[in-house]
Structure 1
Amino acid sequence: MRKELHTKICEEKVFESIYNTYSKDLTDYLYYRYGEALNPKDKAQEAFVKLWNNCKKVSVDKAKSYLFTVANNMMLNAIKHQKVVLKYQTDKPNIYHSESPEFILEKKQYFEKYKAVLASLNDEQRVAFLLNKVEGKKHGEIAEILGVTQKVVEYRIYSAFNILKKELEGFKIK
């Protein structure tokens, strides 16, 4: 009887039923847990491919658990990979530049001062400013996210900008 369960999942109709039952839930779970950046739809599809490749090893009653575990592990691996890539990008020395060591030091000091001034802003100003300037969100989008009016968002961004301009010599934003 145990062997029948293993072979049933390899049948196309059974696998299709499992796919139809769990694909949306799995994709939604990955999206809610990790966001859109790591392609939750792709990871869900890859989990189903792994299930199909291991259909003889996974029983029907363990299929859901297998899918969610495999997909979750794929997302965690993608996050680890992103961290390694980011670390490499920040640690990698800039070999192809003609900047003097003094300029590099000044740039580093300026960036540290910039981070300190950003940290000194109040939370509302910092969040609105970073959503606008770093993530590129429009004032209306930020207002929806924060649950305030667009005028409040504009005030927070411009007051943060003025503080940065006052504290940092030559501060400009594109």
Structure 2
Amino acid sequence: MNVSFRGGTHGSADIDALFRVYSDDLRRYAYRRLRDREAAADLTQEAFLRYVASRQAERSDAHASQFFLWRIAGNLIVDLVRRERRQGRSVPLEQAALLADAAPLADRSLIARQDFATFKAALDELPPKTRAALLLNRIEGLTHAEIAARLAISPSMVSKHIMKALRVCLRKLEAADA
């Protein structure tokens, strides 16, 4: 896109035109480097603010303005990455779980194995149709109507089988924890 800028100091219309032409590309550039949309948007605005404050791009060459903006953005990215390395990166609480180590602690792993063994034993004690109804619903994701057709029972019986299976499993797990 060709954009012409008046010589001398850029007026507000020129800065607005510059922003419209380059802001999306600059934001994408920052996002590719940072992998954070909000930080990329903030960095884009900061680059334009610094550009306006410096008034170094007083040339009439829009191409030079583009390269100066990218240079400012690159410097801001380097500063941001250095600051995050030094201080650690702050993330929203919702994303904090993604940063946590996915491997469970040893005691959690042991408890989970014991709970699984208890749950499996409870499943093994269930009548075949009750066990099948629960597994088809919770593991395979089938609807009550689909389970009813597969097991040759009514959808209301499917509900009863699933509720019975859940009660038995819950009782076994609670007894194991006591």
TM-score tier by shorter-chain length is 0.3 to 0.5
TM-score (norm 1): 0.46
